[in-house]
Amino acid sequence: MRNTAKLTTAVLAAGALTFGLTACGSGKDSGSADRSGPLVVAASPTPHAEILNFVKDNLAKKAGLDLEVKEFTDYITPNTATEDGSVDANYFQTKPYLDDFNQKRGTHIVPVVTVHLEPLGLYSHKVKSADALKSGATVAVPNDASNEARALKLLADNGLITLKSGAGAAATPQDIVKNPRNLTFKEVEAAQTPRSLDDVDAAVVNGNYAIPAGLKPAKDALLLESAKNNPYGNFLAVKKGNEKDPRVEKLAKLLTSPQVKKFIEDKYQGSVVPSF
């Protein structure tokens, strides 16, 4: 998906008139955004787009918000589309991922409001517990910087590996100082981690990819992140300068409403957790 990101963004931008995306005016700067049309939000299908569509179908009209949801299955296009004005906002990512993305790609995306946490989990088609992983087992981890570090932290927190002091949000397999099971790590695109389960002994999978793959994090994960003091909440984001867009402020308020909290709790049963 990384190789097609530029093409995807170009197609999206070229089709802006067809789809009624009016986020860009005479220029690409945030001040030229047309705030009179619908608020177009890029989102991962699950759970982000599902949550947004709940807002659209049940809360937006009463709040005077015209909301349009665009689904993307990769972690790149939502940010590049927000940066170039093809969409007005996005909802799919964590702060460590965004910080890394902005730094590497020169984008100017900023968080608006944190909505939920998707606990990262370790899954397997071959063993029933993390303790059953044999010496030399292969574990798939996401290959983007922030999610790979998060995956390694999950394994370290549960005693499978030890990371060197200070590795933090930039940890890679090279930062492993103790690996008693001689685990081998296979770095794959985050969206492909569920599909890798037939080819590896276990895989660390993001919640928004686990759910549509038929995995139930609260039930199926061998290891699961704790929600307590977790920095990986998912948030609504915009290009810097658009935080005070009245449409964005309306959506931020709706996304942190009691109705959305109940929707998340009822629908996802602990696989997705409200962060407000």
pLDDT at 169: 84
Residue corresponding to tokens 């949801």: 69
Collect all residues with Cβ–Cβ distance below 8 Å to 60 and sequence separation of at least 6.
66, 67, 250, 251, 254
Pick the closest to residue 116 from 270, 276, 274, 265 (CA basis): 274
What DSSP designation does 59 have? Answer: T
pLDDT at 101: 96
The structure tokens listed for 81 are: 């589309």
pLDDT at 228: 77
The structure tokens listed for 55 are: 């807002």
pLDDT at 33: 57
189 contacts 202 by C-beta, under 8 angstroms: no
What is the spatial distance between Cα 76 and Cα 273, in angstroms, rounded to a whole number? 24
Output the tens digit of pLDDT for each of the chain's 276 residues: 333 333 344 333 444 333 333 333 333 344 445 687 999 999 999 999 999 999 999 999 999 999 999 999 999 999 999 999 999 999 999 998 999 999 999 999 999 999 999 889 999 999 999 999 999 999 999 999 889 999 999 999 999 999 999 998 889 999 999 999 999 999 999 999 999 999 999 999 998 899 889 998 889 999 999 877 788 899 999 999 999 999 999 999 999 999 999 999 999 988 899 999
3-state secondary structure of 123: strand
Collect all residues with Cβ–Cβ distance below 8 Å to 195 and sequence separation of at least 6.
213
154 contacts 204 by C-beta, under 8 angstroms: yes
What's the pTM?
A: 0.72
Give the DSSP letter string of 166-209: T-GGG--GGGEEE-TT--EEEEE-GGGTTGGGGTSSEEEE-HHH
What is the spatial distance between Cα 43 and Cα 50, in angstroms, rounded to a whole number? 9
3-state secondary structure of 73: coil
pLDDT at 136: 98
